[in-house]
Structure 1
Amino acid sequence: MRKRLGMRGKIEEIIYVRLEAGEDFVHALWDICKEYDIKTGVLLDATGNLAKVRLMRNSREPRRDNWGVDFLEIPGPLMVSATGILGTGWVPENLPPPPESHRNYPDTGFGPGGWEGHGTPYFKINMTVTNAYETICGHLLQGSIVAHVNHDGKADVPSHFTVAIAKVSGVILRATYDKSGFYHDLVPA
């Protein structure tokens, strides 16, 4: 059995950002991590409405050809709550980038278009979405779009879709791809 890896960090600040209608949630998180220089953090909450969501969840009928997961696209309007971890993508210098199967894996957050390079933002976000018919939980995927808010039927108002992120110092969460495979690593900052 492997030894459990643990490390202490401190919350440096809490960052609140309002997303706007039409934004892709994954792309917005990527931009926020870059803009606020978040190497490690926690998505404390994301709350609002989505026009549509794309999720990956455990399959109801696992098969070899679906890796035990289902990819869903659910039309909105959807109420959302999300939490997760934020870190940095990491590939040791003596190795090539991850294989195509990992570079474009849609929930890694290694960049809006898949693998964007060493040291780029990474995240793993779990979300719960609900509409009038069902509630579903899964991993956030690209293509999850913030909804327009229209209170009076005449004019759009600013979005109420807001994220709260705790920026952490003292430790770096590295989503590492090396000869062992893909795993989360913790290193001192």
Structure 2
Amino acid sequence: MSATRLLVLGVVRGHGRAHGYLIGTDLLSWGAGEWAHVKWGSIYHALKQLTKDGCLTDHTSPPGRTEYEITARGEAEYRRLLRDALRRPETRPDTLAAGLAMLPSLTRDDALALLGERLAALEGHRDTAREQADRWRDPPHVRELYGLWEHTAAGGAEWTRGLVERLRAGAYPLAGEPNSPGEPGSWARLKLEQPGGHEGER
């Protein structure tokens, strides 16, 4: 639910105001059905729950269509979910994927700081698993479990380190930078500035 919650808040925030069909079309055009397990039902459930929680406000517009707008509480929840998705290696892969999809909402300094936390935690997990594998004796096959954890953490650390290097080198326009899609309400403007783009392209 947290991945869908983060993505729905991010899409509404990006458009400034959006109806359910637009939100779903955007997310599914990104392939979020595969990497974040987003479905139409989960999108509408998230919209209903986020509105109930005070994170979104709804407006009825002709012809009886409901549009959603993010509230101050929703902005705070969005920021919390986004930061946790990027800095905590314990997050599920779909939550990390959602965080990466919304990465431009962060400033470069914030993104680097959060990913630095993630990298340090992963390197700690890697080293701990290696030590546990070295100490393990009986039954011997259990050592493979620690080897799996070490390998997974090491791979995650390598990927995170690469992303940090790319961001430090200036990759991707982030919040506060020219042409960033990370500012609230910026997506419609960016679409207009990119003729020839297809629906859902950001």
Between Structure 1 and Structure 2, which shows a larger proportion of helix residues?
Answer: 2
Q: Which has the larger radius of gyration?
A: 2
TM-score, normalised relative to structure 1:
0.23
Scaled by the length of structure 2, what TM-score is found?
0.22
